[in-house]
Amino acid sequence: MERLYAGRFVNLVREGHWEFCERVNNTPAAMIFARTEEDRVLLVEEFRPAIGKQSICFPAGLIGDEGEESAVEAARRELLEETGYDAASVRLLFSGPSSPGITSEYLFFFLAEQLHKVNEGGGVGSEKIIVHEVPRGQIDDWLEEQRSLGKAVDPRIYAGLYVMAREQRLAGKIDP
């Protein structure tokens, strides 16, 4: 593997004819599917320079960003930092590559339940995260409205909505 560029967080490398980014120190990330007891889905919005626009997504962040921590600890930390919610239960659902054609990053997906509002969220440092609490019954229209305003809607939101509904069905909380 040939290193084409070494950055602080990512390296650009080439293997054969394939160029891709690898996370420095192979740092994975956590994404948190969360919904309040009032059936509001927690989403975050922030400007993403790579696409040049506001992006709507589930709370997410790097594991180990704040020193040595487990994936569950990172998920709890990111949920609290970004949304201001703490969760009594954070459970790993599955993991996989975030975008295997361009990056080596792995993403761990968590379900956060029994949420309690602790602060306003919004991120740390220079992050300017906007927290959205969207009623689940209105989320399709809300996401379409955000898209019409020129914001990027992360397609993993739809995977998260499916998983949250599946988990509720399995727990007997909603009808199939």
**What's the whole-model pTM score?**
0.89
CATH number at residue 126: 3.90.79.10
Whether 106 is in a domain gets the answer yes
Name the residue range of residue 99's domain: 26-170
* 148 in a structural domain: yes
Helix, strand, coil percentages in the chain from 3-state DSSP, rounded to 5? 25, 45, 30
Indicate whether 160 belongs to any domain: yes
Name which of 7, 129, 146 is nearest 78 in CA terms.
Answer: 129
* 18 in any annotated domain: no
For residue 116, the cross-strand partners are: 86
DSSP state of 103: B
One digit per residue, the tens of pLDDT, for the chain of length 176 reads 899 999 988 899 999 999 998 888 767 999 999 999 999 999 999 999 999 999 999 999 999 877 788 999 999 999 999 999 999 999 999 999 988 888 888 999 999 999 999 999 988 888 899 999 999 999 999 999 999 999 999 999 999 999 999 988 888 766 55
Query: What is the number of domains present in the chain?
Result: 1
